[in-house]
């Protein structure tokens, strides 16, 4: 097998995050699901934006955030996702390329506009996300760069994008291409409500041996397996996926791979400012170690370091030098 050009290529929602601090009363007034992610339509996006205080625009999207972290750690990455030919599409395209990530998916003409996620951040650092998927849900299989997928060590897929038919078909095709080239497929379940809608699909992918690395948090694991107990959930799925990574928020993370089990505590920080992107950046750290062939424990530690950095400030893109942080911690 030839040496791949990319460490990781990802397929995900091309989203611009619009973030604003708010108090608990506004969450109640708007009847939002605090701490969760809800899909909204264009009218809902307009109404919530009007209710927001002063906001900050930052390119986001779960898989794109993961790649931004990976690039910061020195990995070679590429992204496949759909934007529209509009202002936010230009913002997203500029930001991801400026991070050193290859992005060649042609912008889409006409409506709907580029996706945006309206994020309300309460004083406890919890983020409440409301996502208008816009153009991102119209990524067709024809937009895939199959040569780039074959030329990446890991194909990373975002569960959020499984909902619409076109990108779901594109991701299924991408899995075929990656596996036929002998590459690994990593998958993040993204959110429990996504599993509620598509759990049968996800379970089939796992049981068919199409997923090499599965990222879930403890709540998603419970939804996927039907087991509320963490260990019971791990036992229910561990034999069907070569590598299972379960994050547990402040309780740290656990991973199982090749008969080995490793656990790490969460990295300490002074204050949680914004939990947006914690899981995305944990995946960045983990995968950065994985492509280097590091130990399971060190991969988890890298993930914990990156997650701690991202929750120490607003936004889901790293502000500190992740490579330096990892070097200080792991040498």
Q: What percent of the chain has pLDDT over 70?
A: 100
pLDDT of the residue at 206: 96
pLDDT of the residue at 77: 98
Judge whether 236 lies within some domain.
yes
Judge whether 323 lies within some domain.
yes
Domain CATH code at residue 235: 3.40.1190.20
Cis? peptide before 112, omega within 30° of 0: yes
Judge whether 192 lies within some domain.
yes
Judge whether 23 lies within some domain.
no
Judged against a pLDDT cut of 70, whether residue 169 lies above it is answered with: yes
Judge whether 91 lies within some domain.
yes
Q: Side-chain half-sphere of 114: how many Cα atoms within 13 Å?
A: 22
pLDDT digits (tens, 9 = 90+) for 273-331: 888 889 999 999 999 999 999 999 999 999 999 999 999 987 788 988 999 999 998 87
Mean pLDDT, rounded, for 88-92: 93
Judged against a pLDDT cut of 80, whether residue 106 lies above it is answered with: yes
271: number of Cβ within 10 Å:
7
Q: What band does 214 get if pLDDT is binned at 50, 70 and 90?
A: very high
Q: What band does 173 get if pLDDT is binned at 50, 70 and 90?
A: very high
| Residue 99 domain boundaries | 6-13+61-112+135-330
Judge whether 146 lies within some domain.
yes
User: What is d(CA 168, CA 189) in angstroms, rounded to the nearest whole number?
Assistant: 13
User: What is d(CA 255, CA 241) in angstroms, rounded to the nearest whole number?
Assistant: 11
Domain count, the chain: 1
Judge whether 123 lies within some domain.
no
pLDDT of the residue at 25: 96
pLDDT digits (tens, 9 = 90+) for 234-285: 999 999 999 999 999 989 999 999 999 999 999 999 888 888 889 999 999 9
Identify the CA nearest to 169 among candidates 212, 138, 206, 133. 138
pLDDT of the residue at 127: 84
pLDDT digits (tens, 9 = 90+) for 54-83: 998 888 899 999 999 999 999 999 999 999
pLDDT digits (tens, 9 = 90+) for 30-61: 999 898 888 899 899 989 999 999 998 888 89
- What's the mean per-residue pLDDT of the chain? 94
How would you write 139-196 as a 3-class SS string? CCHHHCCHHHHHCEEEEEEEHHHHCCHHHHHHHHHHHHHHHHCCCEEEEECCCHHHHH
Q: What band does 1 get if pLDDT is binned at 50, 70 and 90?
A: low
User: What is d(CA 11, CA 101) in angstroms, rounded to the nearest whole number?
Assistant: 13
Q: What band does 96 get if pLDDT is binned at 50, 70 and 90?
A: very high
């Amino acid at each position: 097998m030839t040496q791949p050009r990319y460490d990781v290529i990802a397929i995900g929602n091309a989203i611009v995050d619009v973030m604003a601090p708010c108090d608990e009363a506004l969450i109640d007034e708007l009847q939002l699901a605090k701490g969760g992610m809800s899909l909204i339509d264009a009218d809902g996006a307009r109404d919530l934006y009007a209710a927001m205080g002063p906001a900050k625009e930052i390119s986001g999207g779960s898989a794109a955030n993961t790649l931004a972290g990976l690039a910061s750690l020195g990995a070679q990455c590429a992204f496949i996702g759909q934007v529209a030919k509009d202002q936010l599409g230009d913002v997203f395209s500029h930001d991801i390329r400026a991070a050193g990530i290859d992005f060649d998916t042609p912008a889409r003409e006409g409506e709907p506009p580029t996706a945006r996620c309206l994020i309300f951040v309460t004083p406890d650092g919890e983020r409440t996300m409301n996502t208008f998927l816009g153009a991102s849900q119209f990524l067709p299989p024809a937009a895939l760069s199959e040569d780039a997928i074959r030329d990446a060590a890991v194909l990373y897929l975002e569960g959020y994008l499984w909902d619409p038919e076109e990108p779901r078909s594109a991701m299924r095709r991408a899995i075929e291409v990656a596996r036929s080239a002998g590459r690994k497929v990593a998958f993040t379940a993204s959110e429990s409500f996504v599993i509620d809608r598509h759990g049968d699909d996800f379970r089939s992918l796992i049981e068919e041996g199409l997923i090499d690395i599965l990222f879930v948090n403890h709540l998603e694991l419970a939804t996927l397996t039907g087991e509320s107990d963490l260990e019971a959930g791990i036992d229910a799925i561990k034999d069907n996926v070569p590598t299972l990574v379960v994050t547990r928020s402040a309780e740290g993370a656990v991973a199982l791979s090749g008969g080995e089990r490793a656990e790490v505590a969460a990295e300490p920080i002074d204050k949680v400012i914004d939990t947006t992107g914690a899981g995305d950046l944990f995946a960045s750290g983990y995968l950065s170690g994985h492509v280097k062939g590091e130990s399971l424990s060190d991969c988890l530690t890298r993930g914990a370091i990156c997650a701690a950095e991202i929750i120490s400030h607003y936004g889901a893109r790293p502000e500190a030098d992740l490579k330096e942080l990892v070097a200080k911690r792991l040498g």
